[in-house]
């Protein structure tokens, strides 16, 4: 058959399919679904050799079901890698502080900078200890929440990565600009007038052994002004509790919010940080947390090229109504985000379970349901 006649026949078949409104369903099935004609004898049509009353065997090919991938895989090794990234950035922040301490302006020459809040508050040394006690309460509450969360490895991985980015950026900001100490009463260790690897290693070990807190007497190095690490931990703790705890736990959410706010206020009362340090810490922590979870909860943003099936979803999305470009994907940490979140398909449900295999009766008391 000539190519022109073949194309004409195919177009005619398509036209007949679109315009055959009076055709019966049997005709359409026979014409387009390759259903055999009635006079075509299949094994189950051959009734000549069938004895009445005997059973007839009909063979039906059943396709093998596809293995369904878990929607929220644990990926424990990714969680371990994210913890290593957090540890590396925490050590980097302590190294930065060890170097900054030697560049600290002389407190006898350079007094605290003018601050609209600190200038009107008398410094109270006890307030910093209260703030750090509140930090420990919020952090331990987050640890308990993550332990009892059904998808604890995903939540843990996200917290580790967000904290790693915050520590990395803080190690840069505190190093590039060293401000005078905001408090006139806070104790700062004497300078060593040298930055040998041994001196830095000793300072890093001392800071790590005290978990970066001053309540245990380990944080005696000054200069980590921009931005406030106390504010970062308080705000991040509240955000984690509000995001992953049951929605009906309103009292817990408001308590975490009030605790974070009180902790920040006590930091200012103690003159532990300038007000600008607190504002920057709040802004950076909330933007990073919300940006990360916006990307994580909208899995289609992980793809640069859109398929035809995704366009209806994109047209309904608030993020892309202003344009088809995903500018959030230009974040410098976006590549690492894709690696850790590419297998998590959708928002993590608020489900909880007993974390240990024993005792077994606890599993029935804590059902796996979204709250």
Instruction: Give tens-digit pLDDT for 88-115.
Output: 999 999 999 999 998 889 888 889 999 9
Task: Give the integer Cα–Cα distance in Å for 308 and 140.
Answer: 46
* Residue 72: pLDDT over 90: no
Q: Choose among 167, 163, 165, 160: nearest CA to 91.
A: 167
Task: Give the integer Cα–Cα distance in Å for 232 and 163.
Answer: 9
* Residue 305: pLDDT over 60: no
With a CB cutoff of 8 Å and minimum separation 6, the contacts of 48 are none
Q: Which two tokens stand for residue 106?
A: 């002389």
Average pLDDT of 65-69?
57
Average pLDDT of 312-327?
51
Q: Choose among 4, 3, 227: nearest CA to 97.
A: 227
Q: Which two tokens stand for residue 231?
A: 């504010």
**DSSP code at position 367:** -
Higher-scoring residue by pLDDT: 329, 122: 122
Q: Which two tokens stand for residue 137?
A: 């309460």
pLDDT computed for residue 33 by the predictor: 44
Answer left, alpha or beta for residue 155, where phi above 0 means left and psi between -120 and 50 means alpha.
Answer: alpha
pLDDT computed for residue 173 by the predictor: 94
**What's phi and psi for 149, nearest 5 deg?**
-75, 140
* Residue 328: pLDDT over 70: yes
Helices 250-269, 275-297: crossing angle, 10 deg rounding: 150
pLDDT computed for residue 246 by the predictor: 92
pLDDT computed for residue 7 by the predictor: 54
Q: Which two tokens stand for residue 288?
A: 């990073």
Task: Give the integer Cα–Cα distance in Å for 339 and 88.
Answer: 18
Instruction: Return the C-alpha torsion angle 141, 222, 164, 261, nearest 10.
Output: 40
Q: What sign does the dihedral 203-205-210-211 (CA atoms) show?
A: positive
* Residue 31: pLDDT over 50: no
* DSSP for 272-332, written as a single string: -S-HHHHHHHHHHHHHHHHHHHHHHH-GGGG-SSPPGGGHHHHHH-STTTT-S--GGGGST
Task: Give the integer Cα–Cα distance in Å for 258 and 239.
Answer: 12
**What's phi and psi for 348, nearest 5 deg?**
-75, 120
* Residue 18: pLDDT over 50: no
Average pLDDT of 43-64?
61
Supply the mean pLDDT for the chain: 80
Residues with catalytic annotation? Answer: 230, 273, 277
pLDDT computed for residue 9 by the predictor: 61
Tokens 């950076």 sit on residue: 284
pLDDT computed for residue 32 by the predictor: 44
* Residue 226: pLDDT over 80: yes
CB count in 10 Å sphere of residue 59 = 6
pLDDT band at 320 (very low <50, low <70, confident <90, very high): very low
Beta bridge partners of 32: none
Average pLDDT of 208-235?
88
Q: What sign does the dihedral 40-45-51-57 (CA atoms) show?
A: positive
Higher-scoring residue by pLDDT: 315, 337: 337
Average pLDDT of 211-222?
85
Helices 125-148, 229-244: crossing angle, 10 deg rounding: 30
Task: Give the integer Cα–Cα distance in Å for 4 and 158.
Answer: 60
Q: pTM for the complete prediction?
A: 0.74
- Measured in residues, the chain has a length of 371
Average pLDDT of 241-258?
94
Q: Choose among 162, 159, 163, 155: nearest CA to 74.
A: 155
Host H or E run for residue 315: helix 311-316
Average pLDDT of 40-46?
51
Q: Choose among 285, 280, 131: nearest CA to 212.
A: 131
Beta bridge partners of 352: 149
* Residue 139: pLDDT over 80: yes
């Amino acid at each position: 058959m000539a190519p022109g006649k073949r194309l004409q026949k195919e177009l005619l078949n398509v036209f007949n399919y679109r315009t055959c409104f009076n055709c019966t369903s049997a005709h359409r099935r026979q014409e387009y679904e390759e259903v055999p004609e009635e006079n075509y004898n299949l094994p189950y049509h051959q009734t000549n050799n069938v004895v009445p009353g005997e059973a007839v065997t009909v063979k039906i090919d059943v396709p093998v079901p596809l293995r369904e991938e878990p929607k929220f895989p644990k990926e424990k090794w990714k969680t371990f890698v994210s913890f290593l990234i957090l540890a590396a950035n925490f050590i980097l922040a302590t190294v930065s502080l060890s170097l900054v301490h030697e560049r600290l302006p002389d407190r006898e020459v350079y007094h605290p900078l003018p601050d609209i809040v600190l200038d009107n508050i008398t410094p109270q040394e006890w307030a910093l200890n209260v703030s750090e006690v509140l930090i420990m309460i919020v952090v331990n509450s987050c640890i308990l929440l993550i332990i009892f969360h059904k998808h604890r490895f995903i939540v843990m991985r996200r917290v580790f990565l967000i904290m790693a980015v915050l520590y990395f950026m803080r190690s840069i900001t505190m190093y590039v600009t060293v401000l005078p100490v905001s408090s006139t009463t806070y104790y700062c260790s004497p300078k060593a007038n040298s930055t040998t690897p041994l001196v830095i290693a000793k300072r890093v070990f001392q800071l790590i052994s005290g978990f970066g807190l001053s309540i245990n007497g380990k944080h005696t190095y000054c200069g980590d002004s921009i931005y406030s690490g106390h504010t970062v931990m308080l705000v991040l703790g509240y955000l984690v509790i509000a995001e992953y705890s049951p929605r009906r736990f309103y009292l817990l959410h408001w308590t975490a919010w009030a605790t974070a706010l009180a902790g920040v206020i006590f930091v200012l009362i103690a003159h532990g940080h300038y007000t600008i340090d607190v504002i920057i810490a709040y802004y950076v922590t909330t933007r990073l947390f919300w940006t990360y979870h916006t990307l994580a909860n909208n899995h289609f943003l992980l793809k640069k090229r859109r398929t035809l099936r995704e366009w209806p979803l994109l047209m309904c999305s608030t993020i892309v109504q202003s344009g088809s470009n995903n500018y959030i994907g230009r974040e410098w940490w976006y590549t690492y985000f894709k690696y850790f979140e590419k297998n998590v398909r959708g928002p993590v449900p608020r489900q909880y379970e007993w974390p240990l295999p024993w005792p077994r009766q606890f599993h029935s008391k804590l059902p796996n349901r979204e709250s």
